[in-house]
A and B are shown apart, each in its own frame.
Chain A
Amino acid sequence: MNFPILSTLIFLPLISSFFIFVSKEQKKSYSPIYISLFGSVATFLLSLFLWYSLDINSSDFQFIEEKSWINNFIKFKLGVDGISVLFIVLTTFITPICIVSCINSVRDRVREFLIAILILETFMIGVFCSLDLVIFYLFFEAGLIPMFLIIGVWGGPKRVYSAFKFFLFTLLGSVLMLVAIIVIYWLTGTTDITRIYEIQIPQEYQNLLWLAFFSSFAVKTPMWPVHTWLPDAHVEAPTAGSVILAAILLKMAGYGFLRFSIPMFPIASEFFTPLIYFLSIVAIIYTSLVALMQDDMKKLIAYSSVAHMGYVTLGIFTLTKQGIEGSIYQMISHGLISAALFLCVGVVYDRLHSRLISTYGGLVNYLPKYSFLFLVFALAALGLPGTTGFLGEFLILTGTFQKSYFVALLATFGVVLGAAYMLWLTKRVIFGKTNNTEIKSLKDINKTEISMLAALAFFVIFFGFYPMPLIETLNVSVDNLINNYEQSINNISLVKND
């Protein structure tokens, strides 16, 4: 029996959170931050090892672990392929950064906060590893609880409203997914994903099941018009919460589309493509315009996230190689960039306790290092070539163009709007005159802040110039996904022709 690397990966954060829990003494050397940092960095290194040892020339699931959980019903089955490994690495990379950010931004109940974050990490890794629908569902939904607490306990003044809104929206979608999972079990007699892939789900059920999964993923993505929870959640969440929410939780939906909707319901996926296109385009144009008018930094970035995720859903459902690879790349890229932007907001929020754009202005005079990094991320967010933000969008649009030039035309126009709101934000926050006298006494970012932002900036630029490590990892798995999809579509049309 091989070393159960995936289970270790999942439960390592949980174990470290347990250590924090038992460590009652608040001695300096024993402080919870160090334990959690140690645990999360170990997880990160382990995930890098996983990535390294993954055979990227095979499209099969690897490192499979299988244990019977409830007899003849649910198996605890884990496994990764080229797509999911990237999300795991993203998760384990962002978590330590979040923990570092707590040093400056979380003042009370630090221990509990760290425990919540680590438990959340466990669930998130679990989502990306599970190969069983029920296990997936459990991890997927369990993630809500720590996030709900992070917003509800450590959030801003309107935290309770936001936490409930977040919970209600996401739960509503998920209930339908649960029903769908039960139906799938009833139809196929298994909840093992790899086996469901092999069994074609009857055509007449596909549309309804697809919609049920869609309702859950659409809320999580979030797609228009169920996106309104996101700005509120972001605004009230503490910095680390916003970072995880934007960088990882939103990606679960994109991952879900790739892992479940398309391979399990290929026919429905094809059927509903126009719907996805429509909603994605609305998300891109509409939320970009809304973002233009925001006066709260976090809200602006939240709306820009919706727009960026619009590109992701668009790319996934082009079902072309460029589109899907672009989408996954865009998700990774957005994970890094949005995390960085929320951290940037967090940095100034810790100093002045305001998220309003009008509070700031002329920061570059007093916080030059901060301003430089902010500018880098703003430019990455608007898709400047040489940063990760560009290539994802460009590949997605290339893919889209092959399906519908009209959709691609509209989506490309979003790029112009993206530049508008991002540069306008930068101008109002970083450049211009300093009207607020408090800014003059601010200190530039300290070493911990620099280290986390610089780490993100490094990867944003590195993968912008040299994305091949990511794309090569994806290559075979994406090919496989598209081949299977096209095969099932062809089979159907063959049957029809007969």
Chain B
Amino acid sequence: MEYAIIFLPLIGCIIGYLGRSLTKFFSEITTSLFVSISAILSIIVFWQGIQSSKYGNYIIFKWVSSGNFIANWSINIDPLSSVMLVVVTFVSALVHIYSIGYMSQDPHKPRFMSYLSLFTFSMLALVVSDNFLQLFFGWEGVGLCSYLLIGFWYKKESANNAAIKAFIVNRVGDFGLAIGIFLIFFYFGSINFKEVFQLAPQLIDKKFLFLGFETSLITLICLFLFIGAMGKSAQFLLHTWLPDAMEGPTPVSALIHAATMVTAGVFLVVRCSPLFEYSQTILNLVTIVGMITAVFAASVALVQNDIKKIVAYSTCSQLGYMFFAAGVGAYHVAMFHLFTHAFFKALLFLGSGSVIHAFKDEQDIRNMGGVRKKLPYTYLFMLIGTLALTGFPFLSGFYSKDAIIEFAYLSNSSLGNYVVIIGILTAFLTSIYSWRLFFKTFHGTYNNKTIPINETHESPIVMLLPLFLLAIGAIFSGFIFKEILIGHHSKEFWQSSVFFLEEIKHDHIPFWFLLLTPVIVVIAIPLSFYYFISNTKIIESFKNTNLPLYNFLLNKWYIDELYELIFVKPSKKIGSFFWRKIDLGTIDRFGPDGISKLVKIVSNKAGKFQSGFIYDYAFVMLIGLSILLTYLILN
């Protein structure tokens, strides 16, 4: 069964693509079917895990063995990976089905479906790995699929650039991950998770001299692993690829850039919790980076106008939440938020896709509005998604997000207090931008000038069905799985797959604190309705008086421009300099070309010397003789 979960998507990818010309819907149906079966099996595995706590590690075959550098292709099922299996295959199956409708007009649909299945396979390979090398395989594999899918509409220049950017920024992260793995191998002599984690306590006191600074070895390893996680999970400074990645088709954004791939970073940190727990420094760093990302992305999301970019920044911001949850040591809560987030964020993306579909590829929310009666189902599902995202009481986001803030409050450190403040602030910002998106899309006046309102239409059933299932997940996943994943007995579920150095506290939390976030979130709804729909003038005038701030946010803190200035342009300049000035201008000029020129000149001169006239030769002999005589006389 475990083999089937992993390999069905791969088989679907290959058969679906090769048989694309057999019948009209062959590849759509094959890929969707295979991934759906895989999803059902994953849910069974997950359920069995909860029931019996029996897990297993299946080794497929040996991948590489060089000295003690040994890695197997393996399927390691444990609580952590079983949760990820459910998230990945479930969302993936729904996205596959949704794509049948969404991509129905696209001539390259078989290719698209195959890429989606290939992605699913890579992501599964990542989560079920029992060693760092296979993890790295999946890690780069999902990066590749993300590259292929962002650049799916390859005729668009912007899509190509976004794809390359995504891959290269991810490579910077991968660079960190690779260094982390080298360090681990060097000091632990193994890259197998189990062996490494067992050895970790013995190496706590090991010091390492790095670029002149003495740090603890574990800290250094975690630092590099975290750089990898930052790249994949689009954390601040390495986040720039995620908004651009919205160039890809919307189902891709839902699957890769919301529910699964971008959460791989969080997964990595949780997976390596036995290492991270021993490095308070890095845990603090994780927390701080998470906080910065959460606030930064939420602030940028406030002013964006592209419906997908808003959701993308929202994803970035929610990933920040997961990281600071992990940073304060609440790994299981981070995983819980990852779990619920997958449902409501995929729902929001697919819902946006439905809206974009209705408006015939219009993505600017300024050109939408007033279509709630035309798109009743989409309206309803988007409403559920938005409520869940903002943390409206008793929907999934409420449980996970509040749990994060509560755990931060309980951690009782000064950093924990900052986390509480930032968490609540971000929750507020999240509500504002989410409702802004929602109201501007569905309420107010109809603002589109190119398409008459009557031509906007509801999406077909094949697109609405996945939305429906995700909506159910977005409503109930928090309520149902709360006890199992983060409740008092959650340790029985997680077993050793998540490591806590200290016992998790379940203290009593003041009642006013429990109410704080939900109240803020609820207040934000009428507030944003008033400012964005009823009385837009206030916002307009505020924008005009604070134009620099507005532009700063609109241009995403100018980080892209900064990178262009300090990385992209200089490397091109240096490359050009090396090539023209050093290769051609120095090595060749004075090397082979210089020598051959010298030989030519000398031989020309020597040739002229042989004039053939006797008096020339006599003259030279005379000079020679006189020099010789002078030499002899002087001696």
Contacts and interface: CB of A to CB of B under 8 A. Distances in A.
A290 B64 contact: no
A415 B228 CA distance: 14
Contact of A398 (B174, B182, B595): B182
A419 B66 contact: no
B178 A431 contact: no
A259 to B, nearest CB: 20
Contacts of B185: 398, 401
A228 B594 CA distance: 13
Given A293-B579, A325-B66, A394-B178, A168 B168 contact: no
A427 B160 contact: yes
Contacts of B588: 228
Nearest to B61: A466
Given A322-B69, A416-B171, A427 B575 contact: no
A11 interface: no
Contact of B592 (A168, A430, A467): A168
Interface stretch (A39-47, A90-98, A203-211, A379-387): A379-387
Tell me if B's interface is mostly helix, strand, loop or mixed.
helix
A397 B160 contact: no
Contacts of A394: 133, 136, 178
A229 B592 contact: yes
Given A228-B588, A293-B575, A431-B151, A379 B171 contact: no
Interface residues of B, number: 56
Interface in B222-280: none
Given A413-B175, A416-B171, A471 B65 contact: yes
Interface stretch (B137-145, B438-446, B498-506): B137-145
Interface size grouping (class) on chain A: 35 or more
Contacts of B527: none
B57 interface: no
A294 B575 CA distance: 9
B376 interface: no
A168 B596 contact: yes
B179 A409 contact: yes
A420 B578 contact: no
A292 interface: yes
B632 interface: no
By CB atoms of chain A within 10 A, which of B155, B182, B210, B571 has the most?
B182
B186 A432 contact: no
Contacts, number: 145
A420 B567 CA distance: 12
A422 to B, nearest CB: 10
Given A168-B596, A416-B168, A289 B571 contact: yes
B186 A401 contact: yes
Interface string B62-75: 11111101000100
Nearest to B143: A384
B154 A364 contact: yes
Contacts of A417: 571
Contacts of B201: none
B571 A292 contact: yes
A294 B576 CA distance: 8
B164 interface: yes
A321 interface: yes
B592 A169 contact: yes
A398 B157 CA distance: 37
Interface string A292-321: 111000000000000000000000000011
B66 to A, nearest CB: 5
Nearest to A467: B64
Contacts of B133: 394
Nearest to A419: B171
B561 to A, nearest CB: 19
20 contacts: A165-B592, A228-B584, A286-B578, A290-B579, A293-B575, A364-B154, A384-B141, A385-B139, A394-B136, A394-B178, A395-B64, A401-B179, A401-B186, A405-B183, A409-B179, A416-B172, A420-B164, A427-B151, A427-B161, A431-B151
Those 3 A-B pairs whose CB atoms lie nearest each other, nearest first: A289-B575, A321-B67, A401-B182
Interface of B: 61-67, 69, 73, 133, 136-137, 139-141, 144, 147, 151, 154-155, 157, 160-161, 163-164, 167-168, 171-172, 174-175, 178-179, 181-183, 185-186, 210-211, 571-572, 574-576, 578-579, 582-584, 587-588, 591-592, 595-596
